[in-house]
Structure 1
Amino acid sequence: MSRRLVPALLAATLLGGGLAGCSAPTAPAARPAAPPEPPRATTPAPRVPAGTAPAETFGVGVRQLKLTRDGDRTLPVTLWYPARGDTGGPAQRGVAAAAGRFPVVMFSHGLGGRPDDYATLLTRWAAAGFVVAAPTFPHTSRGADGNVLDVLNQPADVSYALDKVLALDGAAGDALRGRLATDRVAAAGHSAGGVTTIGLFTTGRDERLDAGVVFAGTALGVGTAFAGAAAPQLFVHGEADEVVDYAAGRAVYDAVPWPKAMLSLPKGDHGRALLSDGAALRVVADATVEFLRWTLYGDAAAKKRLATDAARDDIATLDNHL
């Protein structure tokens, strides 16, 4: 992700903040003290189903959907899915889907990126039993015009793409017909895609989403007014991030009113743990898989394993409020 993201989004946010701050607040008139309110639950219960995630590792298939929103927003979507056949190898095109019904994870790439940049991570999610759908955004992907402010339109792009992906479950003749757990959906994204993902739980709340995973994200432009039903969130952020300051990501995490955890990588930069295979990626991949197993399959054992995975090899620390 380019360094242009922070100043451009900051300008948009300052503009919004300036408009909001034009009227100075006045002191309220004195009024009788209200009776004390009853205690409120500080952490709403999430919609986590009861169940068990698949124990096996699947082969991985990959395909493309060609979508266009509103006539001019071209949104090709890469789909990775659990497949029949050999495990552990690269994703295969045209391979049949594995038997079962699999939750859906919508993934948003960073500025100047593409879904394939994250293939190592996303194929691991698919091999664990998730269908991963990743749009290529029309203005912020590699080779596009780089209009960073279009990030604010991307939550709606993801919701539109989700409509089309979920419709495959009932599409006659489609390879994913009857294979999608359409009531179990999460959103995830990195950098500008992290902004997109946060927006899906704030200004552009999509109530179909049961959980979120934010990699190196910030709330610039989309705010922290988390809304709707409780949806657990996992934040992943490098403490040496040179593009999106760790403190900015932490501030968003602190504002989440739902069950949440933050995986911090003391030596992590803006994206190496996601983009290159190594020890850090293995920790991040294993921790995020366990989070998704818990939130989308309802696997209580996976929730317990998350802390163990996060602590492996002293690569990361976990602030756990799940």
Structure 2
Amino acid sequence: MSRRVTPALLASALLTAGLVGCSTDAGPAARPAAPVGPPTATTPAPQVPSGTAPQQSFAVGVRQLKLNRDGDRPLPVTVWYPAAGEAGGEPERSVTAAPGKFPVVMFSHGLNGRPADYATLLTRWAAAGFVVAAPTFPHTSRGGDGNVLDVLNQPADVSYALTQVLALDAKAGDPLRGRLAADRVAAAGHSAGGVTTIGLFTAGRDERLDAGVVFAGTALGVGTAFAGAAAPQLFVHGEADEVVEYAAGKAVYDKVPWPKAMLSLSKGDHGRALLSDGAALRVVSDTTVEFLRWSLYGDEAAKRRIPADAARGDLATLDNRL
């Protein structure tokens, strides 16, 4: 599957405003209103059947996949997964997967980043019962050529990587054989990875995706024409973001037609809280875990816990339209 975007199209989409430090809204952003009630009768409902997420914490394994889309887009993928053994401690390489079927979350890093930068957060997702697969993009990762225009090719990269990851469920001898819930999949990403994630629900809609988590993202270049079946979205944005203005993220959030919530960190910047442990990361990780438990496992109790997790420590506000 090739959906390569040409340099000319990329330039016309991005260079007019620039990806970094952009804003699609000229005025200052208002904080989200007080939490509202459940979706109206006209809001499409999520497709994942009701169920119960595992409540125990898992040990975490980690492995690497060597992928290449179209032969000229190397996409090494780091995979964190629930592992057998005692929970806690650092992820262990290539250990036995825990028994069970686990939803998949595709994570996209930001400009000049790498999956390992987000290991604290992604390890927590894996410990909660999710297989997290994070590609290293060929041009926008640290050590690449820094071609920001290549961001619009990344939704297709994620879709390709997702196909390869899901294939492991049926691959003889693979450690993840029989361990993937291929019908329960989410996409998440930070900054340029947030653009990538939004693109997977708009211009590059991947119909396999049931939910999305967007950290400090903007729709620049990928648009806000959300398409396909209802896929709940959680936006996380710092109100003091110095790179992607809060207004830009809020403008995209407002266009989402499905069940959604926005976690606004009152003193949050562009995302340093995602990279190291601390009070803000705990709020973000707990809120996102409960969102994923609800949107991928269908766990209604997890959905009810989201507001309390978001309010812990008075670090954030939640506009809850789930």
Q: Is the pair's TM-score, using the shorter chain for normalization, greater than 0.5?
A: yes
Counterpart in 1 of 2:192? 192
Deviations 1:175-210 (A, max 9, x none): 000000000000000000000000000000000000
What SS does the corresponding residue of 2:158 show, helix, strand or coil? helix
Contact kept, 8 Å, 1:105 with 1:188, in 2: the verdict is yes
Which residue identity does 2:275 align to in structure 1?
L
Give deviations 1:59-113, integer Å, cap 9, x for gaps: 0000000000001000000000000112111100021000000000000000000
Match of 1:252 in 2: 252
Deviation, structure 1 residue 49: 1.5
Tell me the equivalent position of 2:266: 266
* Equivalent residues of 2:195, 2:222 under 8 A apart: yes
Q: Quick one: distance in 1 between partners of 2:94 and 2:232?
A: 34
Output the CA distance in 2 between the equivalents of 1:189 and 1:173. Answer: 30
Matches within 5 A, 1:205-216: 205-216=205-216
* Structural RMSD (CA): 1.6
8 Å Cα contact 2:14/2:220 also seen in 1: no
> Aligned partners of 1:195 and 1:94: how far apart in 2?
31
Matching residue of 1:298: 298
For the residue of structure 2 that corresponds to 1:54, the secondary structure is coil
Contact 1:186 1:212 in 2 (8 A): yes
Partner of 1:79: 79
1:113-140: CA deviation from partner (whole Å, max 9, x where unpaired)? 0000000000000000000000000000
SS in 2 for 1:99: coil
Counterpart mapping for 1:1-322 below 5 A: 12-13=12-13, 41-322=41-322
Q: How far did residue 311 of structure 1 move?
A: 0.4
Q: Which residue of 2 is the match for residue 23 of structure 1?
A: none
Is contact 1:42–1:257 with CA below 8 Å preserved after alignment? no
SS of structure 1 residue aligned to 2:54: coil
In structure 2, what is the Cα distance between the partners aligned to 1:128 and 1:92?
16
Deviation string 1:21-57 (CA, Å, 9 cap, x unpaired) is xxxxxxxxxxxxxxxxxxx954111112210000110
C-alpha distance 157-250 of structure 1, shift in aligned 2 (>3 A): same
- The alpha-carbon distance between structure 1 residues 15 and 55, as it changes in their structure 2 partners (threshold 3 A), is closer
TM-score (norm 1): 0.88
Q: Which amino acid aligns with 2:78?
A: T
8 A contact 2:10–2:149 mirrored in 1? no
Distance 1:83-1:149 versus aligned 2 partners, 3 A rule = same
Please give the per-residue CA displacement for 1:210-234, whole angstroms capped at 9, x wherever unaligned.
0000000000000000000000000
SS at match of 1:149: helix
Q: Report deviation, 1:15.
A: 7.0
1:251 CA drift (Å): 0.1
Deviates most, 253-262 or 41-50: 41-50
- Structure with bigger gyration radius: 1
In the alignment, the residues of structure 2 paired with residue 14 and residue 157 of structure 1 have an alpha-carbon distance, to the nearest angstrom, of 19
- Distance in 2 between the 1:48 and 1:312 partners? 28
Aligned residues of 1:212 and 1:234 also touching (Cα < 8 A):
yes
Q: Contact between 1:109 and 1:136, CA under 8 Å: does it hold in 2?
A: yes
Higher relative contact order (CA 8 A, sep 6+): 2
Change (3 A) 1:188 1:14: closer
Q: What are the superposed Cα offsets for residues 226-281 of structure 1, whole Å, 9 maximum, x if unpaired?
A: 00000000000000000000000000000000000000001000011101110000
Is the partner of 2:57 in helix, strand or coil? Answer: coil
